[in-house]
Amino acid sequence: MSDTVPAVVVGGTGYVAGELLRLLAAHPHFRLAAVLSDGAPGEPVATAFPHLACAYPATRFSTEAEACAALAAAPRAALFGAAPHGVSAALIDRLLLAAERAGREIRAVDLSADYRYGSAAAYERVYGQPHGAPARLAQFCCALPEHLARPRAPHVAHPGCFATAMLLAAAPLIARELIEPQLFISGVTGSTGSGRRPAEGTHHPLRHGDLYAYNPLAHRHVPEVVALLQALTGVSVECQFVPHSGPYARGIHLTLQARLRRPLGEEALAAHLAEFYRGAPFVRVLSQPPRVKDVAASNYAHLAARTGAGTVAVLCAIDNLTKGAAGGALQWMNRLFGLPETCGLTAPAAGWT
């Protein structure tokens, strides 16, 4: 594209929105047109995100009306949703409706859970509340960019951060019928995965130097993962997941274990993973177990595998804010506008974070 596409970010003061702003600041084809925050309209973006002051020295958070106007002002625009679940559905629906009434071409990628399920009933079973825009669900599809070549709808719902790591590790094993369809998964996430609002689980003095499980065998990403794996492979899987809170800010390290259907050596297993993700520019299959610092603040995912005693362990490291959220969303938006999916996302990990 020779011109730039205006982008509107919803959910302005949250960590994921801040990561979207960071990525958009360096993108050659998207430019920030508005960043919507219900709680801080008119406040400088640099107040919430001082590290972004050099990129947005004069930008202020917008009202919903201003965001609608930004979407309606250009022939086409990109809408990124980073509002919490339960809020995002109705808000995105209103913004899309305003753009549609103006005859604009809009593409949306939502990072909340609100558009990840195919029906309002499925969403309500997991989140225990009515869906905010059930009529809009048919216009969204949910998948990782690595698992769906072409979206089946005009808009995309990106899987959650833990779900991203689980799907990257599990999909090749299930799709190639290498394992029994029963997954045992343990994952550790950084404190940014819990959002910006302070809570006992994210307060630094309590979290620093500690490691503990939360919602064991009851995490809400599990039904999402099961549904997406079945849609991708046609296989119904059981998934037992124990998430943990790690003593660091960003990154996910995940271990998936399952029983092999037939004997398989580590080299052969690594070859299966590499072949499955051939052409996936952000997935790297390693010979050694991955480390969070090697992917933190990047859109890359590192995988490694081990076999023994008839079982397999696949290890996955991603950044929860980038590959697990904002980077994955931008990867999708690049595709939706016919850009190379790597555009604006090839920066290496920060290291030493």
Which tens digit of pLDDT belongs to each residue from 1-30?
558 999 999 998 999 999 999 999 999 999
Predicted confidence at residue 330, as pLDDT, reads: 98
Predicted confidence at residue 2, as pLDDT, reads: 59
Give the integer Cα–Cα distance in Å for 306 and 45. Answer: 45
Amino acid letter, 264: L
Report, as ranges of residue numbers, the positions in the chain whose pLDDT lies below 50: none
Predicted confidence at residue 262, as pLDDT, reads: 95
pLDDT digits (tens, 9 = 90+) for 242-281: 999 999 999 999 999 999 999 999 999 999 999 999 999 9
pTM (two decimals): 0.96
State the SS3 of 326-337: HHHHHHHHHHHC
305, 286 in Cβ contact below 8 A? Answer: no
CATH fold of 162-320, please? Answer: Dihydrodipicolinate Reductase; domain 2 (3.30.360)
Catalytic site residue from 68, 141, 142, 161: 161
Predicted confidence at residue 55, as pLDDT, reads: 97
pLDDT digits (tens, 9 = 90+) for 326-348: 999 999 999 999 999 999 999 99
| C-beta neighbour count of 211 within 10 angstroms | 10
Would you say domain 5-142 falls under CATH 3.40.50.300? no
Ordered by start, the domain boundaries in the chain are: 5-142, 162-320
Predicted confidence at residue 201, as pLDDT, reads: 66
Q: Establish whether 161 is a catalytic residue.
A: yes
Mean pLDDT of the chain: 95
Give the integer Cα–Cα distance in Å for 226 and 72. Answer: 38
Give the ranges where 216-349 is alpha helix by DSSP (H): 221-233, 266-276, 327-336
Rg of the chain over all Cα atoms, to the nearest angstrom = 20
Q: Is 87 exposed, middle or buried (0-12, 13-18, 19+ CB in 10 A)?
A: middle
